[in-house]
Amino acid sequence: MLKLAKTSLIAVAVMATSVVASDILVTVNGHNITKKDAEAFVSATSPNAHYEQLTPQQKALVKKTLVEKALFAEVAKKEGIDKTPEFKRNMEKIGNELAVNMWMKKQMDNAVVSDSEAKAFYDKNKDKFKMPELVHARHILVKDEKSANDIIKQLKGLKGDKLKAKFIELAKAKSTGPSAAKGGDLGKFKKGQMVPAFSKAVWSLKPGEITTKPVKTQFGYHVIYLESKEAPKTVPYEAVKSRIIASLKQQEFAKKIAEMAKELRSKAKIVDMEKDASVSK
C-alpha cells in the first residue's frame, strides 16, 4: 500500500497543473479529486491503461477508491499519523525520490543532439538501418503428395496472370491452410520466418513461378507461387531520424550521469558498514 501511495504521489507531483472545473471528478469535504489524480492512480496500477479508456464501471471503481483514500487520509491526519517519526522518515524518502526523478528528467531534457550528429551516426551505421530481402508468396497446402502433384499438373503450362488466377482459384478450393480464403496469400516475409524447407523453395523461385515439385514440411505438402521479391534496402534517414536522436540523447544522458556519479562519489565520504565489518572480523 505504501509503495502504491509513493508511486501515486510522485506521478501526481510531476503532472500537477492548475485545476479547472472541468478537470474535477468529485469533491470530498471540499477536497478536489481530478482527472489527473485518476490518471495517475490508473497509470500507477496499470502502466499501459488510461482513465479515459476505462468502462463506466471501472471509472466508478477508480473514483470510489480515490474517495476512500481521501477519507482515510483525513482520519489518519486527525489521529496524528503525519506527526509521527515514521511518517516523517517516509515523507523524506518520498521527497528525495521525487527530487531525483525530477532532476533526472531535467538532465534528460537538457541533453542536446544536433541534426548533423544524428546524420553522422546514420551515415556511419547504415548497415543497422537495412531492411532485409523480402518475398511475397502464396501457397496451397494439402495432406498428401499425390494431391500436390495433381495441383501442379493443373497449373503446368500457365504463365503470367493466367497462372496467378488459376493458383488463387485452386488455393481457395483445395488448400487446407488458414490462408485458403485469401487465395493462399502469405503476405511478405523474410528469410528464416518460414520453416527451412519452405523457405529454401521460395528463395529458389523467380517472381511468377511455382514450385514444380511438392514441398514437404511438418504441415503437409505445399505448392508455392512467388509473387514478388524485394531486394534489401536501406531505410531513409528521415524515417529513422527521430529514433536516432532519442537514442543518442539517451546515450549522452547516461554518459553524463555516470561521470557525475563518479565525481560525486570521489568527493563524498562513503562508509560501507557491511564491508568494513567483514574486514574487521
Position 167: which residue type?
F
Please tell me whether residues 7 and 101 are part of one structural domain: yes
Work out how many domains the chain is built from and give that number.
Answer: 3
Structural domain includes residue 275: no
Q: Are residues 138 and 225 in the same domain?
A: yes
pLDDT of residue 278: 56
The residue among 210, 213, 222 whose CA lies nearest residue 164 is 210
Q: How many CB atoms lie within 10 A of CB 53?
A: 10
Grid coordinates representing 253 are: 544522458
Note whether residue 121 is domain-resident.
yes
Which of 76, 110, 144 marks a domain boundary? Answer: 110
Structure confidence at residue 21 (pLDDT): 64
pLDDT at 15: 47
The verdict on residue 279 lying in a domain is no
Q: Percentage of residues in the chain with pLDDT exceeding 70?
A: 90
Q: Are 46 and 172 contained in the same domain? A: no
Q: What pLDDT is attached to residue 19?
A: 53
Tens of pLDDT, residues 72-116: 999 999 999 999 999 999 999 999 999 999 999 999 999 999 999
The answer to whether residue 274 sits within a structural domain is no
Query: One-letter amino acid identity for 57?
Result: Q
Same domain for 24 and 82?
A: yes
Instruction: For 229-266, write each residue's pLDDT tens digit.
Output: 999 999 999 999 999 999 999 999 999 999 999 999 99
pLDDT band at 13 (very low <50, low <70, confident <90, very high): very low
The secondary structure of the chain, three-state, reads: CHHHHHHHHHHHHHHCCCCCHHHEEEEECCEEEEHHHHHHHHHHHCCCCCHHHCCHHHHHHHHHHHHHHHHHHHHHHHCCHHHCHHHHHHHHHHHHHHHHHHHHHHHHHHCCCCHHHHHHHHHHCHHHHEECCEEEEEEEEECCHHHHHHHHHHHCCCCHHHHHHHHHHHHHHHCCCCCHHHCCEEEEEECCCCCHHHHHHHHCCCCCCECCCCEEECCEEEEEEEEEEECCEECCHHHHHHHHHHHHHHHHHHHHHHHHHHHHHHHCCCCCHHHHHHHHC
Is 281 a member of any domain?
no
For residue 159, what is the domain's CATH number? 3.10.50.40
Domain shared by 12 and 84, yes or no: yes
Once rounded to an integer, what is the mean pLDDT over residues 266-275?
87
Task: Check whether residue 203 and residue 239 sit in a common domain.
Answer: no
**pLDDT, position 10:** 46
Q: Does residue 273 belong to any structural domain of this protein?
A: no
pLDDT at position 7, please? 47
Distance, in Å, from the CA atom of 110 to the CA atom of 215, rounded to the nearest integer, reads 58
Residues 99 and 142 in one domain: no
Check whether residue 144 and residue 93 sit in a common domain. Answer: no
Domain range for residue 212? 133-231
Query: Residue 138's closest CA among 84, 98, 198, 196?
Result: 198
